[in-house]
Amino acid sequence: MTDENTQSDMEKMFGGFAPKFVSLTDDALFGDVWEREGLSPRDRSLATIAGLIAAGNIDQLNWHIPYGIQNGLTETEIKETITHLAFYAGWPKAVSAMNVAKSIFNNQS
C-alpha cells in the first residue's frame, strides 16, 4: 500500500474496495492507453471529454475537464466542444456538461 500523498485518484476512491479495478485504471488505461504514441495527451483529453458527453457520462467530466486543462486544453476549446456536441450528442447532455464546465471554471477564478 502506498501512502495517501502518492496514491492515484482511483486508489484513494477504491483502493481497499476494488483493487483490481484500480489496477486496470492506473496500469492499463492511464499507464498504457493514455501513454501510447499517435495522440498527444491534449488530444486524448479532448476525445475523452467528447466521448463522455456523447455517452452521457457527465459525472466523469468533473475529473476529465481539469485533467484536460492540465493537458493543455483551454476554457474556450472545452466550451466550444460542448457547444458543438449539443447538435450531435443531444442538447440535454450538452446542458449537463456545460453546467459541470461552468462550475469548474468558476471555481478556478
Determine the structural domain holding residue 99 and report its residue range: 41-108
Residue 52 lies in a domain: yes
Residue 70 lies in a domain: yes
CATH number of the domain where residue 90 is located = 1.20.1290.10
CA distance 100 to 87: 18
Is 34 within the bounds of a domain? no
Locate all alpha helices (DSSP H) within the chain, ordered by sequence: 9-14, 19-23, 41-55, 61-70, 75-89, 91-108
Is residue 5 scored above 80 in pLDDT?
no
Share of the chain above pLDDT 90, in %: 89
The answer to whether position 2 is within a domain reads no
Number of domains in the chain: 1
> Each residue of 40-92: pLDDT tens digit?
999 999 999 999 999 999 999 999 999 999 999 999 999 999 999 999 999 99
Identify whether 54 is part of a domain: yes
Contact 54, 84 (CB under 8 A): no
Q: Is residue 14 part of a domain?
A: no
Residue 48 within a domain: yes
